[in-house]
Structure 1
Amino acid sequence: MKRLTLSSPASSAAAAAQVPDTLDAPNKDAVYQRPFILQGERGSLAAAIGGYVEANTNYFATDGISDGFSMEMRRFNIFLYSTLKERIRFISELEFEHGVEEIALETALLDFEFNPALIFRAGIVLVPIGYFNQNHDSPKWDFVDRPLVSTTIIPATYSDIGFGFHGTIPAGSLALTYETYLLNGLQDGVLNNTENRTFLPAGKNEGRFGQDNNGSPAAALRLAVKKRKLGEVGFSSFAGYYNTFKQDGLRIDESRTAWVFAFDYNFSIGKGQMLGEAALAKIETPKDIGPVFGQTQWGFHADFIYPILNGSLFQWKNLQLSLALRLEALDYNVGAFDETGDPISDHLLSLVSGISLRFSPNTLLRANYRYRWDTDLLGNPPAKTAGFQFGFASYF
């Protein structure tokens, strides 16, 4: 009979103290780099339950106009993990967003490990585009908001039903990792959405878990090189038809493809950490749809986190106070108007500063100040948004 273990506060604290730096594990293994799993494996448990919670406040003003102060219960996520048999593992993630406003099954997969270099994975998987999509757990990050390139060009958090292989190949002091999957892919919402632009996240229709809307699988691939205690560099790509172009065996439209190419890095430099990712998206659109819906998009974020103080406060020991800085730039519509030749200007620039207090590797308080410039399609003077956020995040 399987045993289900709920971590007590004492056991959770013991596990937190032993959680390794995420730089020690390849990005492809991010779904297993969670404290409740590591605790369970040390005790040889057959099953374990864990999760994370995050909440924050928001106060923003755009060109001097504000909706005021608000509080947000952003996410409450539950993980289930089980070792079914030697080298066969199951993991799932169920997300409750904004209370019960949105409930989503983000992960539910099985891994069959024939060899560390050859692991078959099937189920609802996190698509390996960039670094963030698989490493999205809020307690890992010193910023309240997720990177814009990761959520509006790379459609994180992006999970899909599919199957494929992943593995790690040692090469001296380096580790080479790969992931490759066939998936149902994005769907019609890429163009038919409320954003009034080409928007890949809107293609994450719930129906993708039940049926491919065009009967043609999408494909994803990520290759990475990792050096222990230094960091990892990854290259990834995703491609697939996103529109419904066949119905009852009849062709009703032209097929249109979405490609995403990404580069990501995560380095430890002295006491500091540098990480980020850049993405380029190419999307085929109908010829008569007009210039509002872009065919080329790009963006990047670059983060730097530096601990400035380690010590004790009240009865807490080994606290870490860190400063953080993030630079972001995105262009949702690269090109020019056919009629005038003037450039299309649907782009933004954002700068975020922050401070975080980690009580353990798994629990932190954080505060951010964001300043953002948004330029509309016609290139009018940018709308300027500024604001503060304060919040917490913790594994359990």
Structure 2
Amino acid sequence: MSRISFLILLLGLYAPSLLQAQIDSSLFKRVENKDSLKNTMNMDAVYNRPMLFAGRLPVSIGGYMEANWQHIGVDGVSEGHQFQFRRFTIFMASTISKRIKFMSELEFEDGTREISIEFAALDMEFDPLLNLRGGIILNPIGSFNQNHDGPKWEFTDRPISATQMLPATWSNAGFGLYGKRYSNDWMFGYEAYISGGFDNTIIDNEQGKTYLPATKSNADRFEESLTGHPLYSGKFAVRNNKIGELGLSYMGGVYNRYMDEGEQIDDKRKLNVFAVDFNTTIPRLNTFITGEWAWINIQVPENYIQKYGNRQYGGFVDIVQPIWRRSIFGWDNASINLACRLEYVDWNVGRVQETGDKIGEDLWSVVGGLSFRPNSLTILRLNYRHQRNRDFLANPPVLLGGFSFGISTYF
């Protein structure tokens, strides 16, 4: 089906609901998460979103958009002013019956160049500690993959470690269990899934290096797994309302096709990803700190050149400091914030076999930001990025720098 046909079908399905909603805007009501914001964790991000429903319609709807301007230079050479419409995302949810609900996330990237279903799952609650989820799921590795909505962040760009080392946004067809328990100021949560996963493109791609996001271009992964093995992913998290949240997660499995019609054609090769994430708010100052760090281990064929590394690691830390919170231009509780992001990624941990020198293929960046939030749903953000990127031979780094300005809002 073409993209245009898909859009027409989507509008056709929901046009009656939209027309009914246009009769009287007072029919719209905001759907709140059943948990208070104080009692939410990263694992709740898929439901911790503003949604609207109209009258007695069984479906609630919402979404967000992101657009930005940027002027970036690489080693002093710039392509000038660039204007980008990054994302337009639609959420649709329905409570089918008591403790049975459905949630979906449909995303249009770069206009309509890429259309993807990032989440579409049925949840059945048997007990707060035992829920079944099935459909297209977001694999719980780190924090950003599940908690990636643009309006939540102070930066126009997503973290490099989450999108160019880890494959965020990373979703697959699969099933699993999750649950959560409260005890005074403490919360404990877990998730465990089996799903489709990676393929040979992580070591056979245009980037010429071990690159997990290459698998995202394989749309067939939603209907078949070339390896015949599931990808295992899971996470355990603990949160204290006075301290913050700590999450430990894992994702791994066989990534290559090693059997063909009952005959072994290759050795079985595995990858393992471990991640830790943390967020907290410093009392009185209200300084918000969030970050994640991940380690990747991959079995690479012995006859591959060293550019395809078998170990990677990287992560980011965001620090956000509110500096002004009051009524601004008639918006109550508006805020102005300073922000800083520190990032590092090493795509090839190790040393060159012939010389013993440390392999390059790494990147670090510092991003400063100034943001204005007229309300909790909308953000205007101005960023400056300074970035250094070294090649495999650790030659003098490529320098990247420039400004970006963006807007993002839920609707």
- TM-score scaled by structure 2? 0.90
Task: State the Cα distance separating 1:242 from its structure 2 match.
Answer: 1.2
The whole-number CA distance in structure 2 between the counterparts of 1:366 and 1:20 is 29
Equivalent in the alignment of 1:233: 246
Q: Is the 8 A contact 2:45 2:146 kept in 1?
A: yes
Distance 1:102 1:157, change over 3 A: same
Asked whether 1:213 is paired with 2:229, we answer: no
Distance 1:233 1:23, change over 3 A: farther
Unaligned runs of 5+ in 1: none
1:321 to 318, 336, 352: 336
- Within 5 A, what are the aligned runs for 1:52-131? 52-131=64-143
Distance 1:10 1:70, change over 3 A: farther
The whole-number CA distance in structure 2 between the counterparts of 1:349 and 1:143 is 16
The whole-number CA distance in structure 1 between the counterparts of 2:370 and 2:33 is 24
Q: Tell me the SS of whatever aligns to 1:360.
A: coil
Aligned length: 391
Unaligned runs of 5+ in 2: 1-13
Equivalent in the alignment of 1:162: 174
Query: For residue 235 of structure 2, what is the amino acid of its counterpart?
Result: R
The whole-number CA distance in structure 2 between the counterparts of 1:368 and 1:40 is 35
Equivalent in the alignment of 2:384: 369
Task: State the Cα distance separating 1:115 from its structure 2 match.
Answer: 0.5
Asked whether 1:222 is paired with 2:235, we answer: yes
Q: Tell me the SS of whatever aligns to 1:202.
A: helix
Distance 1:310 1:208, change over 3 A: same
CA RMSD of aligned residues (A): 2.3
Q: Encode CA deviations 1:28-64: one digit per residue, 9 max, x unaligned.
A: 111000110xx559x8863111111000011111111
Q: Tell me the SS of whatever aligns to 1:28.
A: helix
Q: Tell me the SS of whatever aligns to 2:395.
A: coil
The whole-number CA distance in structure 1 between the counterparts of 2:373 and 2:44 is 23
Q: Tell me the SS of whatever aligns to 1:337.
A: coil
Q: Is the 8 A contact 1:17 1:360 kept in 2?
A: no
The whole-number CA distance in structure 2 between the counterparts of 1:21 and 1:243 is 43
- Within 5 A, what are the aligned runs for 1:1-396? 4=17, 15=30, 24-36=39-51, 40=53, 46-204=58-216, 205-228=218-241, 230-270=243-283, 271-396=286-411
Which stretch has the larger CA shift, 146-155 or 122-131? 146-155
Q: Tell me the SS of whatever aligns to 1:255.
A: coil
Query: For residue 191 of structure 2, what is the amino acid of its counterpart?
Result: E
The whole-number CA distance in structure 1 between the counterparts of 2:60 and 2:187 is 29
The whole-number CA distance in structure 2 between the counterparts of 1:11 and 1:319 is 27
Which stretch has the larger CA shift, 104-113 or 227-236? 227-236
The whole-number CA distance in structure 1 between the counterparts of 2:326 and 2:305 is 58
Equivalent in the alignment of 2:10: none
Q: Tell me the SS of whatever aligns to 2:87.
A: strand
Which stretch has the larger CA shift, 349-358 or 21-30? 21-30
Distance 1:79 1:16, change over 3 A: closer
Task: State the Cα distance separating 1:311 from its structure 2 match.
Answer: 2.1
Q: Name which structure has the greater RCO, CA cutoff 8 Å, separation 6+.
A: 1
The whole-number CA distance in structure 1 between the counterparts of 2:137 and 2:321 is 32
Task: State the Cα distance separating 1:17 from its structure 2 match.
Answer: 10
Q: Tell me the SS of whatever aligns to 1:99.
A: coil
The whole-number CA distance in structure 2 between the counterparts of 1:385 and 1:159 is 30
Q: Is the 8 A contact 1:24 1:229 kept in 2?
A: no
Distance 1:18 1:184, change over 3 A: closer
Distance 1:22 1:369, change over 3 A: farther
- TM-score scaled by structure 1? 0.93
Distance 1:44 1:334, change over 3 A: farther
The whole-number CA distance in structure 1 between the counterparts of 2:193 and 2:225 is 15
Query: For residue 388 of structure 1, what is the amino acid of its counterpart?
Result: F
Distance 1:258 1:17, change over 3 A: closer
The whole-number CA distance in structure 1 between the counterparts of 2:399 and 2:38 is 36
Distance 1:273 1:16, change over 3 A: farther
